[in-house]
Chain A
Amino acid sequence: MRRKISLFAAIAVLLLSACKSSSNDPQPSMNHEPVLTTTAQVILNTYQDLSQKAAKLQETTALLRQVPIEAHLELARQAWREARSPWEQSEGFLFGPVDQEGLDPSLDSWPVNVSDLQAVLNSSHTITVEFLQQQEGTLKGFHTIEYLLWGEDGKKTVADFSEREFEYLEACAGALAQDAARLYELWSPEGGNYISNVINAGKGSKVYVSQKAALEEIVSALGVIADEVANGKINEPFSQKDLTLEESRFSANSKNDFANNMRSIQNIYLGQYEGEGDTANSLSALVSSLDASLDTRLKEHIQKAIDDIEAIPGTFSEAVFSHRAEVQKAQQSVRDLQDLIEGEVLPLINSIK
C-alpha cells in the first residue's frame, strides 16, 4: 500500500512552484554537488549494509535447515531483524532502481500470499532461488521470510517446521540476498552507477535536469515515508483496530520498522549512515545555512518521532488495543515531522536556485 505522494507534498509542491514564479529574488546559484554526493553516499552505504545483512540472513537459514535447533531459529530471526533494519532505513529514498527495477515488490511485498505459499509447500515442486525469482513478490521477500520464521501467531518453534518450510525459507532468503546485492550493484559506481545520476544532477544526469530537481526528489521522498508511517503503517491497524493491516506483525517488529523509517530520514538529513558520512556537506548543513532555526527544529522533530515510537509499551499489536494514547502520541510526532518536511523544508529547497 505504498503511496507515491502525500497530501501535504501534493499541496506544497504545487503552491511553492507557483510562488517561485512570481518572485524575482536574485539569489545566486549555489553548487549543491557536495550535498548530493553526501546524500548519494548515504544511500549507497545503506544498500551495501542491506546486501551484507541479507547475505548473512541467507547463511543462517541454511544453517537452520542443516541443524534445526531453537538456537539456530533464533539466529535466523535475529539475522532477519538485522537485515530488516537497513531496508527500513532505506525507505526514505524509494526512488531510482529500487522503484524502476521492480526490486521493492520483490524485497518487501505485503501482504504475503499465504494461500499460494501453502500450495507451493504442499506441492512437490523443487523450491529454489530461481523458482522464487519467477514468482510474485507476495511469495517472497521480507514478509514471506518473516511468516515462515515466526508463523501466523509469532510462536513457531523448530518442531513446527516441515522440511519443505526449511527449503522454502532458505531459497527465499537466497532470493532476498540476490535482490539486495543487485540493488547495491545498480547504485554502485563499479556497477550500474545510478549514484552518478544524483551526483551529476544538472550536469549531464539522465534523471535530474537540475541539482534542485534532485534535491526536491530527495526531500519529498523523506516526506513520503513520514506520511506512509503516520497515515499508513500506524494509522491503518490503529484506526481500524485490525492487526491484519499491520505490516510486521508476525515478528512483532513494527515498532522497529517505524523507528528505522525515521532513522532513514535522519540519515539522509544528517548525511551519515551508522555514524559515518561527510556531515559538513549534508542536507542539514544546507538547510542550516539558509534557516538555522528550521535545521534545529527538524533535527528535534526527527529525534522526537524516534523517541515517541520507541516509548510505545510492548509490541505494536498490543499497543493498538492497550496503549492507544502512546500510539497516538507517536503518530502525531511523525505527522508533525511530515508537516515540517513538507511544509517548510521542501519549500525552502524549492526556493533555492
Chain B
Amino acid sequence: MKILSTVRFLIACVGISLAACHSSVEPQENNWTYAGGETTVFSTGPDAYTLPLANLNKDGLQKHLEADAMFAQQFVTEPAERFGGLGPIFNQNACESCHIRNGKSAVPAYSGDPSSGLLLRLGTENGEELPGFGNQLQTKAVFGFTPEGKISIEEREKIVRFADGMETKIRELQYGIQDSYIPLPASTRISPRMAQAVYGLGLLEAVPESEILALADENDRNGDGISGRPNWVWDKQQQSIRLGRFGWKAAQPSALQQSAAAAHNDMGLSNPLFPEENCTGQNNCGGDGKMDISNEELELFTFYFQTLGVPAPRNQNSNKVKQGRLLFFEARCNACHVPPLHTGPHPIRELAYQTIHPYTDLLLHDMGEDLADHRPEGKASGREWRTPPLWGIGLTQVVNPQATFLHDGRARTIEEAILWHGGEAEYSKQFYMKLPKSEREKLLAFVESL
C-alpha cells in the first residue's frame, strides 16, 4: 500500500520510536490521498470520523479528548447538579445524538420518530422567521412543555431511465408537520435538514475568503452554466458581515457560530452568541434567563470538531477508481466539487497552510426545482444549496449504515444523489446518465473511494 508516506512517516518516527519505522520511505503516489493535508487520518472502519487531526500536538490531543466527552454529553433540565440547561424545547439532548459517530444521521423511520437527526428549518415565503415557531421545529420538550410539533414523512419512488435503457428507482421524501402546538401559518416554508458530518470543519474554516471568492462566478461570466455565489452572513463574534461557510445553505461563518447555533437551536442551550432561549416570544417557552453554557464550554464543543481529522481516500491505485476520477472531471463535477483548496492562517496551527481536497467550493448553487426548498436563507435562494464536501463520503454508511445523502436524506445511495442533481448540475447529471453502466460504476467507484 502506498497511500501513506512522507508526512505520516515523519510523524510516526518523531512521535514514538517504533522498530518498523526504519525502512525506506516510498514516493508519494499523489497528494490527493492527503484529503486533509497533514491532518489526514487513515482509518477505514466505523471509527473513521472520530480520529483527531493526525498532526495535533499533545496538548491539543488532551483538549480534544476533553472536548470529545462534551460532544457526547447529554444535557438535562435545570435545575441540575451537572449539565443542566436543556430546552425547554429542543431536538436532541447531545451533539452526538444527531451526528452519529460524527457522521450523518438517518431520516425518520416513521412519522414522529424521535431518534432521527433530521430537523426542519422553518420560515415564511419571504425568508422571515415563522411566527410562533421561529426558524426551526423543535420536536421535543422537557417535561411540562409542549414540543412545537412532530415531523411527518412520506416516501415515494420515481423511476429514472439511463440512456442505455436501464432503469433505477430513486426515492423522494415528503416532509410535513403534525401535532403542531398551535396552527401553522399559511405562509409556512419547511426546509428539511439532515445533520451533517462534523469532521474537517476546522480546515474549511481556515480556507481564506479570497480563495473561495475567486471561485465565485455570480453572473456566470465564463458561460459554463455554473454560477457559484457566496452567502454573506452576520458574524456574531466579530460583529461584521462575513462569508458563510457552514450548514446546507452556508448560513454560518465560523465553526464557533455553527456550534453555538446548534447548541441554541437543537438543544436549547443559550450561550454567549445566542443568549436567548430558542423559543423566546412563544407561549410554550420558559427559561431562567441564565446562560446555559459558557464561552469556554462553547469553545470546547467547537474545538472538538475543528480538530477532527479527515479520512484519506481509499483504493486510489485501482484502475477503476483512476478512470472514475477522469470521468468525474469530464462530467464537470469538479466545477462545484472543487478538489484542491488551501488553508491560510488559523489559531489552531495544525490547520494552517495545508493543501486539502474537500471537493467543495463552499459556494451556493441553484440545484434545480427537484431539490428546491423554496425557503431563502440569508442570500441563499430557495433553490440554492452550498456544495457539500465529498471528502470521506465513501465511508458514510460504514460509519452509520442508516445514513443517507442530500440535505433531506432522500438519496439512499450516492447514485441516487447524483440523479437528483439539477439546475447548475444538470449537465453533469445528464453526462452521468448517458454513460454506459460500466462507466457509471467507475465514476461511482471514484466517489465512493473518497
Which of A's residues lie within 8 Å of B, judged by CB? 1-7, 10-11, 13-24, 95, 99-100, 102, 105, 109-116, 119-120, 123, 134-139, 206-209, 213, 216-217, 220, 231-232, 244-245, 347, 351
Cβ-based interface call for B233 (8 A)? no
> In the complex, which residues of chain A have a beta carbon less than 8 angstroms from the beta carbon of B47?
4-5, 217, 220
* B44 engages A4 (CB within 8 Å): no
For residue A201, give the distance in angstroms from its CB to the closest CB of chain B. Answer: 10
Q: Among residues 13 to 34 in chain B, which have CB atoms less than 8 Å away from a CB atom of chain A?
A: 15-16, 18, 20-21, 23-26
* B3 engages A21 (CB within 8 Å): yes
> In the complex, which residues of chain B have a beta carbon less than 8 angstroms from the beta carbon of A220?
47
Q: What is the total number of residues of chain B having a CB less than 8 Å from a CB of chain A?
A: 65
* A100 engages B402 (CB within 8 Å): yes
* B82 engages A245 (CB within 8 Å): yes
A89–B80 Cα distance when bound, in Å, is 29
Number of A-B pairs, beta carbon distance below 8 Å: 172
The 8 closest A-B CB pairs, nearest first, are A21-B4, A18-B8, A113-B76, A19-B20, A18-B12, A115-B77, A4-B50, A116-B143
For residue A32, give the distance in angstroms from its CB to the closest CB of chain B. Answer: 15
Cβ-based interface call for B121 (8 A)? no
Cβ-based interface call for B334 (8 A)? no
* A22 engages B23 (CB within 8 Å): yes
Cβ-based interface call for B42 (8 A)? yes
* B82 engages A18 (CB within 8 Å): no
For residue A28, give the distance in angstroms from its CB to the closest CB of chain B. Answer: 17
> In the complex, which residues of chain A have a beta carbon less than 8 angstroms from the beta carbon of B84?
115
> In the complex, which residues of chain B have a beta carbon less than 8 angstroms from the beta carbon of A17?
4, 8, 42-43
A100–B103 Cα distance when bound, in Å, is 11
* B8 engages A21 (CB within 8 Å): yes
Of A18, A139, A231, which contacts B11 at CB under 8 A? Answer: A18
For residue B350, give the distance in angstroms from its CB to the closest CB of chain A. Answer: 13
> In the complex, which residues of chain A have a beta carbon less than 8 angstroms from the beta carbon of B142?
113, 115-116, 119
Cβ-based interface call for B214 (8 A)? no
Cβ-based interface call for B326 (8 A)? no
* B81 engages A116 (CB within 8 Å): no
A209–B79 Cα distance when bound, in Å, is 47
* Of B47, B82, B97, most A-chain CB atoms within 10 Å: B47
For residue B41, give the distance in angstroms from its CB to the closest CB of chain A. Answer: 7
* B77 engages A111 (CB within 8 Å): no
Q: Among residues 30 to 61 in chain B, which have CB atoms less than 8 Å away from a CB atom of chain A?
A: 41-47, 50-52, 54, 61
> In the complex, which residues of chain B have a beta carbon less than 8 angstroms from the beta carbon of A120?
143
* B15 engages A207 (CB within 8 Å): no
